[in-house]
Copies of this chain bind each other. A is one copy, B any other.
């Protein structure tokens, strides 16, 4: 690593602190490291490492691990035992929340991103914004109670929800949930937490989750399509979330309006009435009927597929991703994958890989958690886009 010299000693201290923290987190997989281990891992001087470690202990991020016999530096068998240090992953917690049309889900994790608990509840699709927020608060309270984590221990909260979300967490446009358009969601939720609250579009959260621990690990150019009432997509371009100029990227659901095509409720209906409610169970029933050979269900599924392929093709042609991840429903999507793949092969100049969401219903909350974790890692200087070693 190039060392920076110059006018900003606090920058230098922060870099050193980052380097030591990283080494501590990396070494945490094995035995707790000694000062000598840290000096070796960081290539910093021993006094520098000592100073940084004391600072981190003061900040509550590091503590002395249990002592082991045996001195440092070779064969000093009867010497003073070496001090060992560990990163205190439990020094803070992160919360990821999904606020969806039918469901509220919350996930809790420690500072390394290890999950420590999850709670989810159904919510009426007709619930008002206030009712939905109350439901979200209740879900979080239940999760904190069950995991015995203090609210003051939360370092950041991520939220995933349908709609176009402004940087400050206001929902600019959210037709999927009653009362959502114009709702200052970030501001409302911030009243319940003393830590930063980050609000993100649900499909954007989803694609972050699939890249973190789902179908898209190792991929940098990914489109995640959330199949649903109004299909939406979240995209990674070169590993970074592509939100678009006004945060509306991937809101492909409006495309069918152009051809005056029917809504999913009509597409998936096996009667003359729209399918209602259009939820996972209803869709699963239609798909199951289709598998059993029911002609109307078969036709409904074909219509639905044609629409989905068209929307996904538009995204693929515009963005040319490496991988398309299909999610949004926990089941019923298996039947979608192969036809989608075949149609994309026919129409796309360079068809991408197509995969099912691995995280399923957990994708949005997990992605919201990842956002919170990114925020805290950046604060601590541990973010990937910060100092490179």
A254 contact from B172, B249, B315, B347, Cβ within 8 A: B347
Q: How far is the CA of A383 from the CA of B305 in the complex (A)?
A: 47
- Which stretch, A21-29, A118-126, A184-192, A306-314, touches the partner chain B? A306-314
Q: How far is the CA of A162 from the CA of B382 in the complex (A)?
A: 43
Q: How far is the CA of A200 from the CA of B254 in the complex (A)?
A: 32
Given contacts A5-B5, A221-B244, contact A254 B317 (CB under 8 A): yes
Which residues A309-355 have CB closer than 8 A to chain B?
Answer: 309-310, 313-315, 317-322, 343, 346-350, 352
A228 within 8 A of B: no
* Chain B residue at smallest Cβ distance from A232: B317
Q: Which chain B residues border A160 with CB–CB below 8 Å?
A: none
* Chain B residue at smallest Cβ distance from A253: B317
Contact A243–B320 (Cβ < 8 Å): yes
Q: How far is the CA of A321 from the CA of B246 in the complex (A)?
A: 8
**Tally of this chain's copies:** 2
A237 within 8 A of B: yes
A349 contact from B164, B233, B259, B318, Cβ within 8 A: B164
Q: How far is the CA of A242 from the CA of B240 in the complex (A)?
A: 13
Q: Which chain B residues border A347 with CB–CB below 8 Å?
A: 254-255, 257-258
A59 within 8 A of B: no
Given contacts A3-B6, A221-B245, A347-B258, contact A317 B251 (CB under 8 A): yes
Given contacts A4-B2, A350-B246, contact A255 B313 (CB under 8 A): yes
Given contacts A258-B313, A347-B258, contact A320 B249 (CB under 8 A): yes
Contact A318–B249 (Cβ < 8 Å): yes
A248 within 8 A of B: yes
User: Interface on A for B, CB 8 Å cutoff?
Assistant: 2-6, 164, 172-173, 221, 233, 235, 237, 242-252, 254-255, 257-259, 306, 309-310, 313-315, 317-322, 343, 346-350, 352
| 25 residue pairs from A and B, CB less than 8 Å apart | A2-B6, A4-B4, A173-B350, A221-B245, A233-B318, A235-B318, A237-B237, A237-B242, A244-B319, A245-B350, A246-B320, A246-B350, A248-B317, A249-B318, A250-B317, A250-B318, A251-B320, A252-B318, A254-B313, A254-B349, A257-B346, A258-B309, A314-B314, A318-B318, A319-B319
